[in-house]
Chain A
Amino acid sequence: MKLTCMQDNLNRGLSIVSRAVSARSTLPILSNILLSTDNGRLKLAATNLELGITTWIGAEVEQEGSITIPARLLTDFVNTLPNEKVHIELTGGQKVRVSAGHSSADIHGMDPEDFPVIPTVTDEPTVRIEPGLLKEMISQVAFAAASDDSRPVLAGVLVKLENGSLTMAAADGFRLAVKEHEVDVDATGISVIVPAKALDALARLIGDAEEAVEITVTPNRSQILFHSENVDIISRLVDGNFPNYNQIVPKQHETRTVVDTQEFLRATRRAFIFARDSQNVVRLQLEPGDDLRPGRILITATAAEMGSGADELQATIEGTGGQIAFNAKYLADVLAVVSTGQVALETQTANAPGVIKPIGNGSYTHVIMPMHMANR
Chain B
Amino acid sequence: MTRTILHVDLDAFFCAVEEQRDPSLRGKPFAVGGNAEGRGVVSSCSYAARRHGVRSAMPMVRALALCPHLLCLPTRFAAYRASSQAVMQRLGALTQMVEQVSIDEAFLDVSDIPEPGEVLARRLQAQIRDELGLPCSIGVATNKLVAKVATDVGKASARCDSPPNAILAVPPGTEAAFLAPLPAHALWGVGAKTADRLAALGLRTIGDIAAWPPASLESRFGKYGRTLSHHAAGIDDRPIITEHTPKSVSRETTFARDVTDAETLQRTVHAQATDVGRRLRRAGMVGTTVKLKLRWSDFTTLTRQASLPQPSAHDAEIAAAAMRLLNQLWQTSVPVRLVGVGVTGLGSPPRQLSLWEVERPVSTERDLRLQSTVSELRDRYGYQLVRWGSEVPQT
Q: Which residues of A contact B (CB under 8 A)?
A: 150, 171, 173-176, 243, 248, 277-279, 281, 304-305, 325, 327, 351, 353, 367, 369-376
Interface-lining segment among B34-42, B44-52, B90-98, B345-353: B345-353
Interface-lining segment among B132-140, B249-257, B329-337, B354-362: B354-362
Q: A173-B356, A278-B311, A279-B310 are in contact. Are A304 and B347 (CB under 8 A)?
A: yes
8 contacts across the A-B interface (CB closer than 8 A)? A150-B361, A174-B355, A278-B311, A279-B311, A369-B353, A374-B284, A375-B348, A376-B348
B288 interface residue per 8 A CB criterion: yes
CB-based A-B contact count at 8 angstroms: 65
Assembly CA distance A304 to B349 (angstroms): 12
Closest chain-A Cβ to B323's Cβ sits at a distance in Å of 21
Contact with A along B275-310 (1 / 0, CB 8 A): 000000000100011000000000000000001001
Q: How many residues of B contact A (CB 8 A)?
A: 21
Is the CB–CB distance between B353 and A370 below 8 Å?
yes
Assembly CA distance A371 to B349 (angstroms): 10
Is the CB–CB distance between A374 and B349 below 8 Å?
yes
Assembly CA distance A372 to B355 (angstroms): 13
Is the CB–CB distance between A173 and B358 below 8 Å?
yes
Q: A150-B361, A304-B288 are in contact. Are A171 and B355 (CB under 8 A)?
A: yes
Closest chain-A Cβ to B2's Cβ sits at a distance in Å of 30
Assembly CA distance A173 to B361 (angstroms): 11
**Chain B contacts with A in 336-380, Cβ cutoff 8 A:** 345, 347-356, 358, 360-361
What secondary structure prevails in chain A residues at the interface with B? loop
Is the CB–CB distance between A279 and B349 below 8 Å?
yes
- Give chain A residues whose Cβ lies under 8 Å from the Cβ of B311: 278-279, 304
Assembly CA distance A376 to B347 (angstroms): 7
Q: A304-B311, A353-B355 are in contact. Are A281 and B288 (CB under 8 A)?
A: no
Closest chain-B Cβ to A263's Cβ sits at a distance in Å of 25
**Chain B contacts with A in 300-327, Cβ cutoff 8 A:** 307, 310-311
Is the CB–CB distance between B354 and A369 below 8 Å?
yes
Q: Which of B289, B345, B352, B356 has its CB near the most chain A CB atoms (within 10 A)?
A: B352
- Give chain A residues whose Cβ lies under 8 Å from the Cβ of B350: 278-279, 281, 325, 371-374
B245 interface residue per 8 A CB criterion: yes
Q: Of all chain B residues, which has the CB nearest A327?
A: B352
Q: Of all chain B residues, which has the CB nearest A175?
A: B355
Q: A373-B348, A374-B349 are in contact. Are A305 and B289 (CB under 8 A)?
A: yes
- Give chain A residues whose Cβ lies under 8 Å from the Cβ of B284: 374
Q: A173-B360, A279-B310 are in contact. Are A369 and B352 (CB under 8 A)?
A: yes
Assembly CA distance A22 to B144 (angstroms): 72
Q: Of all chain A residues, which has the CB nearest B309?
A: A277
Assembly CA distance A248 to B350 (angstroms): 22
- 4 nearest A-B pairs in the assembled complex, by CB-CB distance: A374-B348, A304-B288, A369-B353, A371-B350
Is the CB–CB distance between A248 and B355 below 8 Å?
yes
- Give chain A residues whose Cβ lies under 8 Å from the Cβ of B347: 304, 376
Beyond A304-B311, A305-B289, A373-B348, 17 additional pairs, beta carbon < 8 A: A171-B355, A174-B352, A174-B355, A175-B355, A243-B355, A277-B310, A278-B311, A279-B350, A279-B352, A281-B350, A304-B288, A305-B307, A305-B345, A373-B350, A374-B348, A374-B350, A376-B348
Q: Of all chain B residues, which has the CB nearest A373?
A: B350
Closest chain-B Cβ to A277's Cβ sits at a distance in Å of 8
- Give chain A residues whose Cβ lies under 8 Å from the Cβ of B310: 277, 279
Within the complex, which residue of A304, A305, A372 is in contact with B351, where a contact is CB–CB below 8 Å? A372
Q: Of all chain A residues, which has the CB nearest B310?
A: A279
Assembly CA distance A370 to B288 (angstroms): 23
- Give chain B residues whose Cβ lies under 8 Å from the Cβ of A305: 288-289, 307, 345
Q: Of all chain B residues, which has the CB nearest A303?
A: B288
Assembly CA distance A150 to B353 (angstroms): 18
Q: Which of A150, A351, A372 has its CB near the most chain B CB atoms (within 10 A)?
A: A372
Assembly CA distance A32 to B73 (angstroms): 75
Assembly CA distance A150 to B345 (angstroms): 34
Is the CB–CB distance between B353 and A371 below 8 Å?
yes
- Give chain B residues whose Cβ lies under 8 Å from the Cβ of A176: 355
